[in-house]
Amino acid sequence: MTSTNPAPDRTDQMPTLPTGLAERLVAWRRDFHKHAETGWTEFRTTSAIIGVLRDLGWDTKFGPDLHDADSRLGVPSAEVLAGERERAVAQGADPLLVEAMGEGFTGVLGVLETGRPGPVVCFRFDIDSNNLVELADDSHRPFAEGFASVNDGAMHGCGHDGHAAIGLGLATALSEHQDELTGTVKIIFQPAEEGVRGAHSIVAAGWFDDVDLFVATHLKSDDAKGNIVTGSDGYLASTKFDVTFTGIGSHAGGDPEKGKNALLAAASATLVLHAIPRHSGGASRINVGTFNAGEGRNVVPRKAVIRVETRGQDSEINDFMFGRAQDVIAGAARMYDVQSELSVVGRADREDPSPELLPYVRESFTGVPGVAEIRDSSGVGGSEDATAMMKRVKERGGLATYVQIGMGTTAGHHTERFDVDEDMLALGVLAELRVALGAAEFLGGLGQ
Ligand SMILES: [Zn+2]
Ligand SMILES: [Zn+2]
């Protein structure tokens, strides 16, 4: 052991996974895929996860205890949630658990206390689906094999069904290896990652304040099968927001001067938002993704709604984009003498992995069957609210990273053809089991 690489050499130690776990991983993943649930409506998925964790003897935290209620972003209306609760129960969710999740307090934290002193190690898996209509065609395996989503407009098009399965597999494997562990293992099954909405309220509730080592995980279609990134560092800071312009309607022929045109305000805002200058400090993005306005051909439009996002290579650049966007929206409203109301429905920071953790994660993946090339850095891509968890862990002196597992699949994320390479599920479980099993010795070696 040297001071530059304090991680112990464990290439000759490869734990075994519980018998039949590979098959269970596939069954869990397909069950979640078939019953896809979008952000804050993961009632059935959460209920199923709690059931497995309880059977393993893990402690479970869920419902309002898991979240700081006011920090939740982009929660659907009470009416939508009531319908989704009913749907979840009809699809086999435990009615008492669904009741306990109330107004969209979905997700669950599983806690395994060994009773022996040691570090707190935490893994994060997101569990929500996309708002997407799944391809109904025999060329798409989930459809051909009968596990395509039965929930209209909800589809696992990002691999979170696989993440939830890996989380349950990891819990199962950790239970079997419990005697070799010290300290505490936490597994957070996070809701509402799509739209970067679900992490903040769990962080605000304090569940990450004691975490010494944190690993978030994502399956990735556009990296070769078995390629691993130990420290994904390309996530952009982002703010997602809705803007409603409210004017006054009037007869477009008889009384046009009496109207206040909300559509024109939104249209002007849309064009100027896309003309915000670039930032010299790094990459920036803006997108007005939807625009809805007006009622009839001969009515001056009194209402317009746009859905917008800004992004930046770091939080400062994103703050610049969001700040300018607010000015543009206020200015456009003033120009047309209408009201504007902006609400933030999602948010993510940029947070880089802890460099000193990466050699240990690299070593944990080394030698795991199916692992190909291991890199420590990724390219700039989307946004992730797990960065809020990473930030909190690092602030409190812990180490955090974000791992990507390449699948080499053809359909991109968020497309109607997306599918998971199920071989990668057991690979993820085994490597992350090794992360947990060696954590106390690794952190001890760092003097943590
Ligand atoms: Zn996604
Ligand atoms: Zn995702």
Could you state, in order of their start, the residue ranges of all structural domains in the chain?
21-235+351-445, 237-348
pLDDT confidence tier of residue 1, bands split at 50, 70 and 90: very low
In the structure, ligand 1 is a single-atom ion and the residues with CB under 5 Å from it are 158
Q: Which residue has the tokens 């300018």?
A: 324
Query: How many whole angstroms from 296 Cα to the centroid of ligand 2?
Result: 39
Query: How many whole angstroms from 261 Cα to the centroid of ligand 2?
Result: 39
pLDDT confidence tier of residue 282, bands split at 50, 70 and 90: very high
Least distant ligand from the CA of 161: 2
Contact 279, 250 (CB under 8 A): no
Least distant ligand from the CA of 131: 1
Tokens representing 123? 């893994």
Residue 157 has pLDDT above 80, yes or no: yes
Query: How many whole angstroms from 165 Cα to the centroid of ligand 1?
Result: 16
Q: Which residue has the tokens 């120009």?
A: 335
Q: What is the pLDDT of residue 448?
A: 58
Q: Which residue has the tokens 């804050």?
A: 40
Query: How many whole angstroms from 158 Cα to the centroid of ligand 2?
Result: 5
pLDDT confidence tier of residue 234, bands split at 50, 70 and 90: confident
Query: How many whole angstroms from 111 Cα to the centroid of ligand 2?
Result: 23
Query: How many whole angstroms from 193 Cα to the centroid of ligand 1?
Result: 7
Query: How many whole angstroms from 283 Cα to the centroid of ligand 1?
Result: 20
Query: How many whole angstroms from 148 Cα to the centroid of ligand 2?
Result: 18
Least distant ligand from the CA of 155: 1
Question: Rounded distance, CA 168 to CA 176, Å?
Answer: 13
Residues above pLDDT 70, as percent of the chain: 97
Among 343, 344, 347, 435, CA closest to 388: 347
Q: What is the pLDDT of residue 9?
A: 61
Query: How many whole angstroms from 218 Cα to the centroid of ligand 2?
Result: 7
Residues above pLDDT 90, as percent of the chain: 95
Query: How many whole angstroms from 29 Cα to the centroid of ligand 2?
Result: 15
Query: How many whole angstroms from 230 Cα to the centroid of ligand 1?
Result: 19
Query: How many whole angstroms from 302 Cα to the centroid of ligand 2?
Result: 37
Contact 357, 213 (CB under 8 A): yes
Query: How many whole angstroms from 264 Cα to the centroid of ligand 1?
Result: 33
Least distant ligand from the CA of 412: 1
pLDDT confidence tier of residue 2, bands split at 50, 70 and 90: very low
Residue 246 has pLDDT above 80, yes or no: yes
Query: How many whole angstroms from 378 Cα to the centroid of ligand 1?
Result: 16
Query: How many whole angstroms from 31 Cα to the centroid of ligand 1?
Result: 19
- Alpha helices (runs of H) in 251-335, residue ranges in sequence order: 262-273, 315-335
CB neighbours of 64 closer than 8 A, spacing ≥ 6?
Answer: 102, 105
Q: What is the pLDDT of residue 12?
A: 65
Query: How many whole angstroms from 396 Cα to the centroid of ligand 1?
Result: 28
Among 341, 327, 286, CA closest to 309: 286
Residue 8 has pLDDT above 70, yes or no: no
Query: How many whole angstroms from 420 Cα to the centroid of ligand 2?
Result: 12
Query: How many whole angstroms from 190 Cα to the centroid of ligand 1?
Result: 13
Least distant ligand from the CA of 159: 2
CB neighbours of 405 closer than 8 A, spacing ≥ 6?
Answer: 217, 218, 219, 220, 228, 424, 427, 428
Q: What angle do CA 237, 122, 239 make, to 5 degrees?
A: 15
Beta bridge partners of 348: 238
Answer whether 21-235+351-445 and 237-348 agree in fold. Answer: no
Query: How many whole angstroms from 245 Cα to the centroid of ligand 2?
Result: 31
Sheet holding 374-375, edge to edge: 59-62, 108-113, 184-190, 120-126, 213-220, 399-406, 228-229, 374-375
Tokens representing 13? 């130690």
Residue 91: half-sphere exposure toward Cβ, Cα within 13 Å: 24
Least distant ligand from the CA of 194: 1
Query: How many whole angstroms from 192 Cα to the centroid of ligand 2?
Result: 10
Query: How many whole angstroms from 193 Cα to the centroid of ligand 2?
Result: 7
Contact 229, 377 (CB under 8 A): yes
End-to-end CA distance of the chain: 16
Pairing label, strands 374-375, 184-190? unpaired
Query: How many whole angstroms from 99 Cα to the centroid of ligand 1?
Result: 28
The overall average pLDDT reported for the chain is: 96
Per-residue pLDDT of 198-224, as tens digits, reads: 999 999 999 999 999 999 999 999 999
Does domain 237-348 bear CATH number 3.40.50.300?
A: no
Query: How many whole angstroms from 441 Cα to the centroid of ligand 1?
Result: 34
247: left (phi > 0), else alpha (psi -120 to 50), else beta? Answer: beta
Query: How many whole angstroms from 197 Cα to the centroid of ligand 1?
Result: 12
Question: Rounded distance, CA 380 to CA 378, Å?
Answer: 7
Query: How many whole angstroms from 64 Cα to the centroid of ligand 1?
Result: 25
Q: Residue 392 has what DSSP assignment?
A: H
CATH class, range 21-235+351-445: alpha beta
CB neighbours of 222 closer than 8 A, spacing ≥ 6?
Answer: 406, 412, 413
Query: How many whole angstroms from 39 Cα to the centroid of ligand 1?
Result: 11
CB neighbours of 430 closer than 8 A, spacing ≥ 6?
Answer: 14, 15, 17, 173, 368, 369
Q: What is the mean pLDDT of residues 270-280?
A: 96
The distance between the two most distant Cα atoms of the chain, rounded to a whole number of Å, is 85
